[in-house]
Structure 1
Amino acid sequence: MQQLLEKVRRHRVNVDGNVCTVMGTTSVLEGWQRKLDPGYNVMQTLLLKAD
């Protein structure tokens, strides 16, 4: 997510507000998840579900 945000900023791409909300919410939820279970990688799970 951080890499995506850096590229958006570097290339001055406009991102829809709804997309920004989802990205922010995902970041917060991932932070909570890491505190609850540091060994679980939610992003890896999301990538596997996308296949």
Structure 2
Amino acid sequence: MLYVTDTHALVWYMLDTLPEAADNVFTSAERGESTIFVPKRLYLFRRDVFIL
């Protein structure tokens, strides 16, 4: 499955505060069963807001 999310949901997932259904989507992506796109994050990387 393919999903699109924003940066807030990504942070909430890392803090373990997402509702169960949304958490299951992120867990599925961690197992390689689905893909989650975070368009805003890509934009921030391109603008050098985040440094790897």
TM-score scaled by structure 1? 0.35
Report the structure number with the largest CA radius of gyration. Answer: 1
TM-score scaled by structure 2? 0.34
**Greater RCO between the two (CA within 8 Å, min separation 6)?**
2
* Higher fraction of helix: 1
